[in-house]
Structure 1
């Protein structure tokens, strides 16, 4: 066998191993979701502790993080576990790096609205570029528990029934005719250029914004449209964490045929210098993100 053929076979085998580990990560999260959702009861209140981003942690945030750290850290082939709720990554062995936003949208617990979990699987040390992602997924704890996952350029949607993944849609792509939008941050904190973009969007699309990233992006994937948490006057770097939220969500949307942008480039092109670095996030149909970048460039 030639050296080139050996290289191809080795690369293929390595890719299969990554996919297998990524699948185990998603399956482990799915298996944990019934227990995770049940654990919210009685843990909605805030604790005295704060995370690296300075946000007061809820009892549910900490409980979700502890359970996922234990279960994902026990997967053979996972080398690093990192959470939005922890200052530093945890070395759990050799292999891929897994990032988790254990309880996305936890502020929604006050009003009993949607929350979820975001997972990224990176082939590289953290902090890492979105180009190092080999898979990403998010869970929505809604009337039913659902998971949307992306690997190898393909997106699938599952209903999670008693911890088991039941596929609802394969090769999920954004609808070509967008119909919804959701924009975060106070309007009086938006830049003039983003406000001008938003005015045009409001004329053509329906507002769908619930305050949990997973729920708002899930609407965009289902109906087509655009979600944004832009740069704000008070937060020029935006609110969302690149490693834990923005990059995994951008990976899913791009695999579904859409685009992501921080205002001038794909989120996946960002090379973060810090594990908890923030960035503006805009995701959705290509035409709408193209329009956004033109607006912000003026």
Structure 2
């Protein structure tokens, strides 16, 4: 048998923690001296200690740990719990990193306010284009909600096009539909020349002509496109246009490194409103 100090060192926990586990009934000593009250433990109890620490470190409360241990959870089930917890932690880290990148992008947008020249925005007619697409709903139009939706959509779309033998004829195009509840329907599309066929597990459709589109080229990850969108908005307002809906994104160059992406943002706009000249003032006759 081992004293509580020896057992704590063997189990890589503190004596205080062993006393707490004893107090809440999670891990009782194998023997307690009736005179001194000294606790003693057996090596076999390290197995239960390992399970307690592992389950607790997965984020469960001690009450939940007791319930899990009472169900005699096996090693394979513990591994499954670890895999699930790892996925949750990785998702949280990814979301936190995306939020941090968003803050940094906002700061860069603030630093560059007013420095984007008008020559960088081009108004043009965007022709009708045939695409194959998949769509899914995102919680909002914010990058941290769009990115986790649009990436898997494109992966799945490209896989389905490959299985169907449909060739891609041009760069990918993403477009969005705002919903009344604040969510956004995300359309991930690839340009194709195929005809719609029964049984296809993707939609083949024609994106309509944009008679007047204010366009700008964004360099870098779309998570950091806020500055380009805001510069486009300033240009549209300054030149007497009105924006119509959410912008299309045409991925002109999308290598594995997102920092090297080149994307054309296309926002449909109304023609500029004509300027009514001020009436000439008439001086009174002498």
TM category, shorter = under 0.3
Using the size of structure 2 for normalisation, the TM-score is 0.25
Larger radius of gyration: 2
Using the size of structure 1 for normalisation, the TM-score is 0.25
